[in-house]
């Protein structure tokens, strides 16, 4: 059997040509229900429980994340909510301090029966002080949103496993092209497949991929079916199609990201840039566990909120919008947009100021992206 490398996996994993028709792309199975040979004798029963289009996608996701089993969801938040439900209720979580605003909102304001300790993994963490008998898992988002912090996944997993705690890694900003947490010791990997996996800003989805099928597989499948936050067959098809170009897209995102970061790092109106490829604090760890630095970065402008709005209104190629990882360049204001649900005191303590902007660098010609940023910066 030929051992497939990553760029071959994204194209061929999960399916071959259709057995019935020979179609190279798998058909979309829109049926909500399926014929049973006799009661309880079936391959597929009901589309919420299992669907051929979702089966193909989940096999593909498991392959590219180096996991044993994958589960597709209707959004990244549905996937994170399922992880929380997987561990029951009335428990404690250790979470990296800089995470997506929606993750904090879920942990702090929706899941009111769990306690969360937010940890700055840049510091010398005393695990004996924060782990207790109610602690169920460690949540690590790396690179983080929006400050692009890098957590050493292998080191964190080794420590957490010493306390018999699983590590769950949000891999959205990296994508499995640049980073595969399960290969580094993580136990579950979660992604918003809306982002780099989808890559075209036209679907919403999420995924959980697990290393140990026997330990978590049955329970996650039960929750996926019982709650029903599953993607439509058409969204499964779109995501399967989009993943086929993940490698070539990520190569360009990585290339453009490094060039844009280099331009912004030396610009007099940028006071700070958060990007793994230029941040000396994180570059060595990122280089060790990532194959590329991606197209995500955040910058602090040397101006106030009025100046930030002036800059944003003068951009021509960048679109002011939430989300990320699409082929087009997007920019957003975390304090007002993606992280507005986080209390201002917490935002301020993390460094999510009114002058901070998050960029998702697309795959346009990099000279055009640089020129767009340059002319807009000249207006402040």
Residue-level pLDDT at 192: 98
Pick the CATH number of 6-243 from 3.40.640.10, 3.20.10.10, 3.40.50.300, 3.30.70.20: 3.40.640.10
- The span from the CA of 133 to the CA of 220, in Å, is 23
Report in angstroms the alpha-carbon separations of 195 from 228, 239, 246.
22, 10, 11
Q: What is the pLDDT of residue 356?
A: 98
**CATH T-level assignment (fold) for domain 246-377:** 3.90.1150
- Does residue 234 carry a pLDDT above 90? yes
Please provide the DSSP assignment of 270-326 as one string.
EEEEE-TTT-HHHHHHHHHH-S---SEEEEEESS-HHHHHHHHHT-SSSEE-S---S
- 366-377 helix and 305-313 helix, angle to the nearest 10 degrees: 140
Going from the C-alpha of 273 to that of each of 227, 262, 277, 308, 346, the distances in angstroms are 41, 10, 10, 15, 20
pLDDT, tens digit, for every residue of 324-377?
999 999 999 999 999 999 999 999 999 999 999 999 999 999 999 999 999 999
Token pair in block for residue 262: 């280099």
Output b/e per residue, 172-193; b: 16+ Cβ within 10 A.
bbbbbbbbbbbbbbbbbbbbbb
Q: Which residues are catalytic?
A: 48, 100, 170, 195
Give the global pTM: 0.96
* Cα(163)–Cα(132) distance, integer angstroms: 10
> Can you tell me the distance from the alpha carbon of 297 to that of 289, in angstroms, rounded to the nearest whole number?
18
- Residue 107, pLDDT > 60, answer yes
**Is the pLDDT reported for residue 1 higher than 80?**
no
Would you say residue 67 has pLDDT above 90?
yes
Half-sphere exposure of 94 (CA within 13 A, CB side): 25
134-143 confidence digits (pLDDT tens): 999 999 999 9
- Using a 10 angstrom Cβ sphere, with 0-12 exposed, 13-18 middle and 19 or more buried, the burial of residue 112 is exposed
Which residue, 187, 236, 227, is CA-closest to 209? Answer: 187
Hey, where are the domains in the chain? 6-243, 246-377
- Confirm if 137 and 168 have CB atoms less than 8 A apart: yes
Task: Tell me what the mean pLDDT of segment 261-287 comes to.
Answer: 96
> Cα 36 from chain centroid?
38
């Amino acid at each position: 059997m030929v051992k497939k490398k990553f760029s071959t996996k994204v194209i061929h994993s999960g399916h071959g040509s259709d057995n019935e028709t020979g179609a190279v792309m798998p058909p979309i199975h829109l049926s909500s229900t399926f014929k049973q040979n006799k009661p309880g004798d079936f391959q597929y029963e009901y589309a919420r429980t299992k669907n051929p289009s979702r089966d193909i996608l989940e096999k593909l996701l498991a392959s590219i994340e180096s996991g044993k089993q994958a589960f597709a969801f209707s959004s990244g938040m549905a996937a994170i909510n399922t992880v929380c439900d997987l561990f029951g209720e009335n428990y404690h979580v250790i979470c990296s301090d800089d995470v997506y605003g929606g993750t904090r909102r879920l942990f702090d304001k929706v899941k009111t029966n769990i306690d969360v300790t937010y940890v700055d993994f840049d510091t010398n963490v005393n695990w004996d002080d924060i782990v207790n008998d109610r602690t169920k898992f460690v949540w690590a988002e790396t690179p983080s949103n929006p400050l692009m912090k890098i957590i050493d996944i292998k080191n964190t997993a080794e420590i957490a496993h010493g306390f018999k705690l699983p590590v769950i890694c949000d891999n959205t900003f990296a994508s499995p092209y640049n980073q595969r947490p399960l290969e580094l010791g993580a136990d579950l990997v979660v992604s918003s497949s809306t982002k780099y996996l989808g890559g075209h800003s036209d679907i919403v989805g999420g995924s959980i991929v697990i290393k140990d099928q026997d330990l978590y597989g049955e329970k996650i499948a039960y929750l996926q079916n019982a709650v029903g936050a599953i993607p439509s067959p058409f969204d499964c098809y779109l995501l399967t199609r989009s993943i086929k170009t993940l490698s070539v897209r990520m190569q360009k995102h990585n290339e453009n990201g490094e060039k844009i970061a280099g331009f912004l790092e030396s610009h007099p109106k940028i006071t700070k840039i958060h990007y793994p490829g230029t941040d000396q604090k994180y570059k060595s760890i990122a280089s060790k566990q990532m194959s590329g630095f991606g197209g995500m970065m955040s910058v602090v402008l040397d101006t106030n909120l009025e100046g930030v709005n002036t800059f944003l209104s003068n951009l021509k190629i960048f679109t002011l919008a939430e989300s990320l990882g699409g082929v087009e360049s997007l920019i957003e204001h975390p304090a007002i947009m993606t992280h507005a649900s986080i209390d201002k005191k917490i935002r301020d303590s993390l460094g999510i100021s009114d002058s901070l902007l998050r960029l998702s660098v697309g795959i346009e010609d990099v000279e055009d992206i640089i020129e767009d940023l340059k002319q807009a910066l000249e207006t402040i």
